[in-house]
């Protein structure tokens, strides 16, 4: 989820040639259905949909993409990119939308306020929460571990070869939104942030820690389907207050609650196509997202098929989006 400072010059040079290569992913075409008709596809327009590297985002993107393609006749292209690369791509229409944004005040300032190449397209309905978690067995055996003030007492338990003489705090993909290195420093914790490298690796680490009763302290977030399999227990950091995270170097508080929103390219918004209207109208719940995300990640359903299953099961919500898209 969150970001790191971008290698801006390199990304800018490469973006026009291959946006997917920047993000370490690929580009998947989902053309309009043959029954849609060329006129319908032209009226809808093309939808360039960023796919950021976590499955909840993938679920949201494929549901919107499936509706755009199958109901409106749009041409849909999915681009697997990290967050800042996606925002950067809005300047040249390589990317039309980021369907799930987790704050990113710096990107808002750069691309919405200063460059005006992107716009806020409203909430997507998901409520996001980031934090530090332990597997359930640890909270049961060491109940005071859920208070951050006691973490140094348990630091030796969390030592790994990667963390050296300190306790390990396991994070996910380095591009995710995280204040963890600053938190460890500013709370004077005897821990080192180690990156699992991906959402899948982070999930597997927690799954094994619970199954094998091994210690693990790690970054995690909601919405996330895995929490229904292993109900991770949150560690209480100093409470979040307005502005306590304003200076990234001085953060010493918990993460805020995020009302996740959609970001669109300004040029995409100004075109006001049915694809844009659909994106703007899209809104669903954490439970909705987790249903599709679990189908993709755990049940190994193709993302488009998982999207179709949810769309077929939720005609009321989809009809409301379509009504707005066709207005």
Identify the band that residue 45 occupies on the pLDDT scale cut at 50, 70 and 90: confident
The pLDDT value recorded for residue 43 is 77
- Residue 278 vs residue 1, higher pLDDT: 278
- 107 with 144, same domain: the answer is no
Supply φ then ψ for residue 177, to 5 degrees.
-60, 120
> How high is the mean pLDDT of the chain?
89
What does the pLDDT average to over 13-36?
39
- Regarding whether 100 and 37 lie in a shared domain, the answer is yes
Q: What is the pTM of this model?
A: 0.84
Backbone angles phi, psi at 115, to 5 degrees: -80, -25
Domain boundary among 257, 275, 291: 257
Residue with tokens 């094994």: 208
100 and 14 inside one domain? yes
> Is 104 within a domain?
yes
Give yes or no: residues 308 and 292 share one domain.
yes
Containing domain of residue 251, as a range?
129-257
Q: Assess whether pLDDT exceeds 50 at residue 16.
A: no
pLDDT tens digits, one per residue of 194-203? 999 999 999 9
* Alpha helices in the chain, H assignment, sequence order: 8-15, 19-23, 38-44, 55-72, 83-89, 105-107, 136-141, 180-186, 199-212, 266-271, 274-281, 286-297, 303-313, 315-325
pLDDT tens figures, 231-274: 999 999 999 999 999 998 999 999 999 999 999 999 999 999 99
- Alpha-carbon span 186 to 182, nearest angstrom: 6
- The count of structural domains within the chain is 2
The domain spanning residue 187 has which CATH number? Answer: 3.40.190.100
Span 94-102, mean pLDDT?
A: 97
Cα 263 from chain centre: 13
For residue 9, pLDDT beyond 50:
no
Looking at the structure, tell me whether residues 214 and 175 fall in a common domain. Answer: yes
Q: What is the CATH number of the domain that holds 267?
A: 3.40.190.10
Which of 257, 286, 308 is where one domain is finished? Answer: 257
For residue 143, pLDDT beyond 60: yes
Q: Could you tell me if 281 and 214 lie in one domain?
A: no
Query: What is the rounded radius of gyration, in angstroms, for the C-alpha atoms of the chain?
Result: 20
Burial annotation 75-101 (CB, 10 A radius, 16+ → b, else e): bbbbbbbbbbbbbbbbbeebbbbbbbb
Gap between the Cα atoms of 236 and 221, Å rounded: 14
């Amino acid at each position: 989820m969150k970001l790191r400072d971008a290698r801006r010059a390199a990304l800018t040079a490469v973006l026009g040639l291959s946006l997917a290569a920047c993000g370490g992913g690929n580009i998947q075409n989902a053309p309009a259905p043959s029954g849609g008709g060329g006129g319908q596809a032209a009226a809808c327009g093309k939808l360039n949909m960023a796919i950021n590297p976590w499955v909840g985002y993938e679920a949201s993107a494929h549901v919107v993409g499936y509706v755009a393609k199958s109901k409106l006749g749009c041409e849909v292209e999915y681009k697997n990119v990290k967050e800042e690369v996606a925002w950067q791509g809005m300047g040249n229409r390589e990317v039309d939308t980021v369907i799930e944004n987790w704050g990113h005040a710096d990107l808002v300032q750069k691309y919405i306020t200063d460059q005006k190449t992107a716009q806020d397209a409203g909430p997507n309905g998901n409520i996001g929460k980031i934090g530090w978690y332990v597997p359930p067995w640890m909270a049961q055996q060491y109940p005071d571990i859920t208070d951050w003030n006691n973490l140094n007492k348990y630091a030796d338990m969390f030592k790994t070869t990667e963390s050296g003489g300190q306790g390990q705090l396991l994070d996910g993909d380095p591009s995710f939104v995280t204040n963890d290195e600053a938190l460890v420093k500013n709370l004077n914790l005897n821990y080192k942030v180690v990156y699992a490298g991906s959402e899948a690796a982070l999930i597997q680490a927690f799954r094994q820690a619970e199954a094998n009763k091994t210690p693990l302290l790690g970054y995690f977030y909601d919405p996330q389907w895995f929490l229904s399999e292993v109900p991770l227990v949150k560690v209480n950091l100093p409470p979040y207050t307005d502005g306590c995270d304003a200076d990234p170097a001085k953060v010493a508080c918990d993460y805020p609650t995020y009302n996740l929103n959609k970001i669109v390219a300004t040029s995409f918004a100004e075109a006001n196509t049915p694809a844009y209207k659909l994106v703007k109208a899209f809104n669903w719940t954490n439970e909705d997202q987790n249903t599709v995300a679990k189908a993709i990640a755990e049940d190994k359903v193709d993302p488009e098929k998982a999207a179709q299953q949810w769309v077929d099961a939720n005609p009321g919500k989809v009809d409301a989006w379509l009504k707005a898209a066709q207005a």
